[in-house]
Amino acid sequence: MLRKIVVYITIIAVFLVLSNKQVVGSEVFSDSNKALIQAQEKVRNKNPQLGAQIQQMIENQEKVGVRVEQKMARLEEKSAFLKFLYGPNYEKVGEVEKEIVQLKNQLQQMEVLKSKVSSVGEGELVIMDQAIESMEDEILELESDLNAQVSEFSLFGWLNKFLNYQEETV
């Protein structure tokens, strides 16, 4: 009887934890998205085409941010003991690195948009500068989190990395 109660409580606890982990939106790039939304609102009235480009940039950042959050969460799921033995999941590390490259490409696109926004007005240019600066900071923070995951000591991490690298090249 006591065993059944413990099992039911465990099931309920797991359900509650899983229901609270749903990702509704990206929190990774919230500051840069807020700045981009401000710029988009100001630019939309003066230049609708440029406003649409900024809107597309916001949507892309939101999608990438959600994917990065999910992949980082999967990377951090591994228990401390398994990380000590085998190191991080290098496949997930590679996926996050690909997302970082995509984010850097979006940062370059934001620089191009900034040059277009400069023709609309000075206030919008300042907002775009803020968005670019906050995105750069968030990318640096993401890279440092990833490097912290990879640089942890592991007994057989070198073997895990070697085997994963060999599978990718075959």
pLDDT at residue 31 in the model: 67
pLDDT at residue 97 in the model: 92
Q: Answer yes or no: is 102 within a domain.
A: yes
Kindly state the DSSP code that residue 112 receives in the 8-state scheme: H
- According to DSSP H, which parts of 21-156 are helical? 30-46, 48-76, 80-86, 90-117, 122-150
Low-confidence ranges of the chain (pLDDT < 70): 1-32, 165-170
Q: Answer yes or no: is 50 within a domain.
A: yes
* Parent domain of 96: 25-169
pLDDT at residue 115 in the model: 84
Q: Answer yes or no: is 85 within a domain.
A: yes
Q: Answer yes or no: is 118 within a domain.
A: yes
CB-side exposure of 119: number of CA atoms within 13 Å? 6
Please say whether the dihedral angle defined by the alpha carbons of residues 134, 140, 143 and 149, taken in this order, is positive or negative.
negative
How many domains are there within the chain?
A: 1
pLDDT at residue 14 in the model: 44
Q: Answer yes or no: is 18 within a domain.
A: no
Alpha-carbon distances of 46 from 31, 53, 121, 128, rounded to whole Å = 24, 13, 9, 16
Q: For residue range 33-80, what is the model confidence (pLDDT) as tens digits?
A: 777 777 777 777 777 888 888 888 888 888 888 888 888 888 888 888
pLDDT at residue 16 in the model: 44
Q: Answer yes or no: is 2 within a domain.
A: no
Q: Answer yes or no: is 64 within a domain.
A: yes
Q: Answer yes or no: is 34 within a domain.
A: yes
pLDDT at residue 169 in the model: 44
